[in-house]
């Protein structure tokens, strides 16, 4: 991918030889602060390629903060500061010389509330492609179609591409937001409770889509739905008060966790 050369910075390849091939991310001693408040405390975990990793834990335990640090969205929050290392492709993403625009193309993010632009369905996707320099109509048409197909939305919208995205249902809007992210050809998708604001049928469709996407992408998903985490994820990290209490295969976390706190949380005794 051409953009790689822009994320890579020559002086920043120190970790390249250390990184295991099957890990898309290696996160080491990550701490994140908002002013005096430490929202993430010395988190360390490796994220496997082409797997779904779920982040679970009670509200306010730092899941979104952790997720936003990966594509440097926390940079946009005044007073936010990160320490530690997030190694991606041999590069520490927290380094000051990272090109965050290129980074956010490779590591895309989808939020809880669908946030399509108030534009046509077509232009929701074409707009971002144009921003990255793609202009030809044929190429745009093709990339819009491809992204909508990948997001399992094409059949529902192919006859109304020039209608407003806001005319879509919530679940369709969320799949459009996923399509918009996929159009950037990312390697890693960060999904922050992507289906929790949706009705059960839309929720199921988005969930099914996420499972399909695992074939081609690495995915980290924040969810407060324990059934969802156990249904779709390969690995689960349990967060509590900014700390990663336990991180393991999802099956292990949900059937035989090592930590009592994990057991209490997944069995619904708090949170």
Ligand X SMILES: Nc1ncnc2c1ncn2[C@@H]1O[C@H](COP(=O)(O)OP(=O)(O)O)[C@@H](O)[C@H]1O
**Helix, strand, or coil here: 45?**
strand
Of 54-93, binders to Mg ion (CB under 5 A) are 64
Contact (Cβ atoms closer than 8 angstroms) between residue 52 and residue 233? yes
Contact (Cβ atoms closer than 8 angstroms) between residue 19 and residue 26? yes
The string of DSSP codes covering 49-109 is TT-EEEEE-STTSSHHHHHHHHTTGGGGSTTEEEEEEEEETTEETTSTT--HHHHHHHEEE
> Is residue 39 at the binding interface for ligand X, with CB under 6 A as the rule?
yes
CB closer to ligand X, 73 vs 183 = 73
**Distance, CA of 159 to CA of 226 (rounded, Å):** 37
With CB cut-offs between 5 and 8 Å by kind, which of Mg ion, ligand X, none does residue 150 bind?
A: none
**Among residues 8, 15, 34, 132, the one that binds ligand X under rule CB under 6 A:** 34
Of 44-73, binders to ligand X (CB under 6 A) are 57, 59-65
Instruction: Give the binding-site size for ligand X (rule: CB under 6 A).
Output: 12
With CB cut-offs between 5 and 8 Å by kind, which of ligand X, Mg ion, none does residue 116 bind?
A: none
CB closer to ligand X, 81 vs 162 = 81
CB closer to ligand X, 80 vs 152 = 80
CB closer to Mg ion, 107 vs 157 = 107
* Residues in contact with 30: Cβ distance below 8 Å, sequence separation at least 6, in sequence order: 40, 42, 43, 44, 66, 69, 82, 83, 84, 85, 86
Of 71-130, binders to ligand X (CB under 6 A) are 77
Q: Residue 105 has which token pair?
A: 């193309």
With CB cut-offs between 5 and 8 Å by kind, which of ligand X, Mg ion, none does residue 245 bind?
A: none
Please state the closest distance from residue 40 (CB atom) to Mg ion, in A. Answer: 12
Q: Residue 189 has which token pair?
A: 């998708």
CB closer to ligand X, 24 vs 61 = 61
> 28 has which bridge partners?
85
Helices (H), the chain: 4-7, 63-70, 100-106, 121-131, 137-150, 154-157, 170-182, 200-213, 226-232, 250-255, 260-266
Please state the closest distance from residue 197 (CB atom) to Mg ion, in A. Answer: 12
**Distance, CA of 76 to CA of 101 (rounded, Å):** 12
Please state the closest distance from residue 24 (CB atom) to ligand X, in A. Answer: 21
CB closer to ligand X, 74 vs 147 = 74
Please state the closest distance from residue 215 (CB atom) to ligand X, in A. Answer: 27
CB closer to Mg ion, 56 vs 148 = 56
With CB cut-offs between 5 and 8 Å by kind, which of ligand X, Mg ion, none does residue 39 bind?
A: ligand X
* Binding footprint of Mg ion on the chain (CB under 5 A): 64
* Binding footprint of ligand X on the chain (CB under 6 A): 34, 37, 39, 57, 59-65, 77
């Amino acid at each position: 991918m051409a953009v790689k050369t822009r994320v890579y910075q020559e002086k920043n390849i120190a970790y390249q030889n250390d990184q295991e091939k099957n890990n898309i991310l290696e996160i080491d001693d990550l701490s994140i602060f908002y002013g005096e408040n430490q929202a993430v405390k010395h988190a360390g975990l490796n994220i496997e390629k082409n797997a779904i990793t779920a982040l679970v834990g009670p509200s306010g335990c730092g899941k979104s903060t952790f997720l936003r640090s990966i594509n440097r969205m926390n940079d946009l929050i005044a007073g936010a500061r990160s320490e530690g290392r997030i190694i991606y492709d041999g590069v520490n993403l927290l380094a000051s010389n990272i090109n965050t625009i290129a980074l956010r193309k490779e590591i895309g993010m989808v939020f809880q509330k669908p946030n399509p632009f108030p534009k046509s369905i077509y232009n929701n996707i074409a707009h971002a492609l144009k921003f990255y320099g793609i202009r030809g109509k044929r190429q745009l048409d093709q990339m819009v179609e491809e992204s909508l197909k990948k997001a399992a939305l094409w059949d529902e919208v192919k006859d109304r591409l020039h209608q407003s995205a806001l005319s879509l249902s919530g679940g369709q809007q969320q799949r459009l937001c996923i399509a918009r992210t996929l159009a950037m050809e990312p390697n890693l998708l960060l999904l922050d409770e992507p289906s929790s604001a949706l009705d059960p049928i839309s929720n199921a469709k988005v969930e099914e889509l996420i499972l399909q996407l695992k074939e081609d992408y690495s995915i980290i998903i924040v969810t407060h739905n324990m059934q969802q985490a156990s249904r779709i994820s390969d690995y689960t990290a349990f967060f509590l008060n900014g700390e990663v209490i336990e991180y393991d295969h999802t099956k292990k976390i949900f059937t035989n966790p090592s930590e009592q706190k994990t057991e209490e949380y997944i069995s619904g005794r708090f949170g």
